[in-house]
Amino acid sequence: LKDAEENATILNRDRHISYALRQLNRATGFSKMDASRSWYCFWGVHTLRMLNYEIPDELAKRLVELVEF
């Protein structure tokens, strides 16, 4: 168990959340023709959900508008 603790990866939750939010805010500026916008949204939202972070309503609204067809 001691070896496992010494080799454990530490998750810096706050930095991951900050990074995901920056990426999502960047995605909302993409052109409607940009094929990667839906993937940016998926990855960012999935990351935040895995970290049990509640996505602000305003950001959620912008993301929905971004991926609507």
Q: Which residue has the tokens 């839906």?
A: 38
Residue pair 30/66 in contact by the 8 Å Cβ criterion: yes
Tell me the DSSP string of 16-64: HHHHHHHHHHHHTTS-TT-TTHHHHHHHHHHHHHHTTPPPPHHHHHHHH
Residue pair 33/5 in contact by the 8 Å Cβ criterion: no
Q: pLDDT tens across 1-59, in order?
A: 567 677 778 889 999 999 999 988 887 776 666 777 788 889 999 999 999 999 999 98
d(CA 40, CA 63): 10
Q: What is the pLDDT of residue 68?
A: 77
pTM value? Answer: 0.74
